[in-house]
A and B are shown apart, each in its own frame.
Chain A
């Protein structure tokens, strides 16, 4: 009984490896990138890169297991949706209004604990934002928005 279950389980696992997955493309050259074009505090840059950039930029770093189904399904969807909603690699192409809205969204997502997604720090330990980090990040978002207003 148990043996049969394992056969089926591994059979399925092997089978789903053949389902085509489209991991969003990684691009190294991003002339409109936020971090490259803006003077931002080092601590904030670290947080952005560690906690956000895998899903919200073109510089995604795919770990080995992101090529293995079913994890690959989740990673490809989250990365695609993340980039669609907010892509820091395209920051300089945003209008003032879109930048301000994005910073407001960012503040909301952090205050509400929506971002980074709960599942992400399980495998990316340095992605977790401490209360102190969150506060710093919120302060940055607010002062950056004020700067954009001017």
Chain B
């Protein structure tokens, strides 16, 4: 029993560490580009799971106002940091994409790997912006 518990604890630790490593490796440096550009892998995730509700022509007014992917590059830095922070929060809490749309289009769901990529990108980019 005790050994089993120790094993589980160690495994969890190892997994935790490896995901940490992983999140660091997917870190996309913001400083390289002057205007804000979405990395290719992030853009793909956004297109598949988010863009339909969060673009310039979206019908969902509230969704468009709170988070508009088309407008990200024109945002002031202070706003961009907040939006990135919110992306991380929404994805962490499994609040986005909305439950309703997932019932209709299960293909829009984020895989746990995609979630991790998105969260670490959003958090590290926000942190880099703040540190500038």
Would A149 and B78 count as touching, CB distance under 8 A? yes
* B-contact bits for A90-104, CB 8 A (1 contact / 0 none): 000000110011011
* A-contact bits for B81-92, CB 8 A (1 contact / 0 none): 111011000000
Residue of B nearest to A96 (CB): B130
26 contacts between A and B (CB under 8 A): A96-B130, A97-B85, A100-B78, A100-B81, A100-B85, A101-B85, A103-B82, A104-B79, A104-B82, A104-B86, A108-B65, A108-B66, A111-B65, A112-B62, A112-B65, A142-B78, A145-B76, A145-B79, A145-B82, A146-B76, A146-B77, A148-B78, A149-B77, A149-B78, A149-B81, A149-B130
Q: Which residues of B contact A96 (CB under 8 A)?
A: 130
A-side residues, CB < 8 A to B, are 96-97, 100-101, 103-104, 108, 111-112, 142, 145-146, 148-149
Residue B126, interface by CB 8 Å: yes
Q: How far is the CB of B54 from chain A (nearest CB, A)?
A: 14
Q: Which residues of A contact B77 (CB under 8 A)?
A: 146, 149
Would A104 and B76 count as touching, CB distance under 8 A? no
Q: Which residues of A contact B76 (CB under 8 A)?
A: 142, 145-146
The complex places the Cα of A103 from the Cα of B86 at a distance, in Å, of 12
B-side residues, CB < 8 A to A, are 62, 65-66, 76-79, 81-83, 85-86, 126, 130
Apart from A100-B79, A145-B79, A148-B78: 8 A-B pairs, beta carbons within 8 A: A97-B81, A97-B85, A100-B81, A100-B85, A103-B78, A104-B83, A112-B62, A149-B81
Q: Which residues of A contact B62 (CB under 8 A)?
A: 112
Residue of A nearest to B129 (CB): A149
Residue of B76, B77, B82, B126 with most partner-chain A CB within 10 A: B82
Would A100 and B65 count as touching, CB distance under 8 A? no
The complex places the Cα of A108 from the Cα of B66 at a distance, in Å, of 7
Q: How far is the CB of A80 from chain B (nearest CB, A)?
A: 21
Q: Which residues of B contact A112 (CB under 8 A)?
A: 62, 65
Would A145 and B78 count as touching, CB distance under 8 A? yes
Residue of A nearest to B66 (CB): A108
Q: Which residues of A contact B86 (CB under 8 A)?
A: 101, 104
Q: How far is the CB of A125 from chain B (nearest CB, A)?
A: 28
Residue of A96, A142, A149 with most partner-chain B CB within 10 A: A149
